[in-house]
Chains A and B, each alone.
Chain A
């Protein structure tokens, strides 16, 4: 058994422990350890991705206990893709932190690595209760990271975020308790075997349980009635944290995709659970995000609303429920994660160059490197709003094509096209304020306190920004291999039997005591 699947969890976890134990270490040494660990993580994730691309589902059994009793990590194509995306995003988040924001509070690097450990664990685990535990690890780290840097806006946003997620965790636990009570297992592969055998009297309860699980996941994914927290939280965080948080909504989307493809589809009474409502709520989320972007008065708020729009778009892909839908949505996921992360970095750059005017849409001092910033802005704005020829356009077209056959196609197409138009409009309006209406250099500083604390030394932020733009271009130019990979991933998801076989193997026949 290869130990590769556990390394993406183990490396950041041990790093966090090490950084905590050697707290007295000098800043330079702490940064070196943190960066070295991240480099190792990137290498390991790429290795995992290249291994997983052969289509074999690798199962790591902790303590070598046979499933369904032991705890398993499952590295299939989807998990490897998400782990790689996390590693890239973590690199883009850590670089700007190295320029100074990591010293605005204590233990930044510890929490950063704990959050990565939680994220990777959530992507790799094959067990619902462990999914909960890894969710808690990443949430606890995110609470601390959100408060990093201090100040009342962050504390206030953090308070609402923590309470909301604690209620979400309580719901998750209720769902888990009911799942175990009714089905007698929490192993995802075992769930697929047990669900079709539920007695007709228990089906209503199981359906409710599964619906609760879905509710928890869409809360993390910021689906409409549960998504109002997102713009508030993302704009309150420091830039490195906001960049890493971009993947947080994707955890909810990943979990919903995983559980629905393995568990829900196997039994007729849960297979149609998402159909009636998910697509319409996703359309609502896109509409809400577009309105939020229109109403925003600063660039970072616009970007937070773009994250929300992309959440809606991704959930449309899940709601389609087809293989093409999943493939399209996964390509769009890679694209939107990279682009929105890059946009947060760009908002930081803009706000750094405009001094006291920060990234608010008002006249400010003329930017020093107006062409470089403008060029980066143009590329990212095109990719974010879905203007051809960049990856955002390709992703959106794929999602729209996959929705063609569904009953909500008209609504979904309208929402996607209109939201693209609105985002392009808002970003163009912002650009004309930023780049074409510079005020005098000695302009009076506005009294508003900047929410985004601009980083002092910017070289590493620039590197991260260039890296993200490079990634966006690679996703565009490499659209063929990447979409081939996501198609293969969707194909793997469409065959839950292979997953069940890999996890349970021969042990699926082990006799279990009938529960009363």
Chain B
């Protein structure tokens, strides 16, 4: 399972990076979204992989799930979502002002 999860995170990161390096803002936004998925998954498994660890500490149980990565990943998701929304708005504004979806559309040439 460790290999599967880490390979999935690696694949997501690689695809995200590839898309970020594309010249249109739409692919950049998609790439950043993929990258943030990869990051969120990585933070989440920072609390170790486990299928049946109890989420609460009850008398008589041991090896409960680590609650901190869950809190961290929640914060990261919210921030990532807000930032992506802002980026989409900014990309639309750039497209409206320059008439092009190219990332360098507003550059002086």
Contacts and interface: CB of A to CB of B under 8 A. Distances in A.
Pairing of A with B: yes
Interface string B54-95: 000000000000001100100110011011101100110110
A163 B28 contact: yes
B46 A159 contact: no
A162 to B, nearest CB: 5
Interface in A137-186: 140, 143-144, 147, 151-153, 155-160, 162-163, 166-167, 169-170, 173-174, 176-178, 180-181
A180 B38 CA distance: 16
B43 A176 contact: yes
Contact of A147 (B48, B90, B98, B103): B90
A162 B43 contact: no
Nearest to B107: A156
A133 interface: yes
A152 B20 contact: no
Given A143-B90, A159-B94, A180-B46, A133 B20 contact: no
Mostly, the B contact residues are helix
Contacts of A133: 75, 79
B20 A167 contact: yes
Nearest to B28: A163
Given A133-B75, A156-B106, A515-B48, A162 B86 contact: yes
Contacts of A155: 90, 93-94, 97-98, 106
A136 interface: yes
B93 A129 contact: no
Contacts of B68: 180
Interface in A12-29: none
Most A CB atoms within 10 A — which of B36, B68, B83, B107? B83
Contacts of B46: 177-178, 180-181
A452 to B, nearest CB: 15
A63 interface: no
Contacts of A152: 94, 97-98, 106
Interface in B17-64: 20, 25, 28, 32, 35-36, 38-40, 42-43, 45-48
Q: Chain A binding site: helix, strand, loop or mixed by DSSP?
A: helix
A91 B75 CA distance: 31
Given A152-B94, A178-B46, A516-B48, A159 B79 contact: no
Contacts of A181: 45-48
Contacts of A147: 90, 93
Contacts of A156: 94, 98, 104-107
A159 B32 contact: no
A136 B90 contact: no
A159 B72 contact: no
Given A155-B93, A156-B98, A143 B86 contact: yes
Contact of A159 (B45, B47, B84, B90): B90
Interface in A168-206: 169-170, 173-174, 176-178, 180-181
B79 A136 contact: yes
Nearest to A236: B106
24 contacts: A136-B79, A140-B86, A143-B86, A151-B97, A152-B97, A155-B90, A155-B106, A158-B90, A159-B25, A159-B94, A162-B90, A163-B103, A166-B32, A166-B84, A167-B32, A173-B39, A173-B40, A174-B39, A177-B42, A178-B42, A180-B43, A180-B46, A181-B48, A516-B48
Interface of A: 129, 133, 136, 140, 143-144, 147, 151-153, 155-160, 162-163, 166-167, 169-170, 173-174, 176-178, 180-181, 515-516
Instruction: List 3 A-B pairs, minimum CB-CB distance, nearest first.
Output: A156-B106, A181-B46, A177-B43
Interface of B: 20, 25, 28, 32, 35-36, 38-40, 42-43, 45-48, 68-69, 72, 75-76, 79-80, 82-84, 86-87, 90-91, 93-94, 97-98, 103-108
Given A167-B32, A169-B83, A180-B47, 13 more contacts: A144-B86, A152-B106, A153-B106, A153-B108, A155-B94, A159-B103, A163-B28, A173-B40, A173-B76, A177-B43, A180-B43, A180-B46, A181-B45
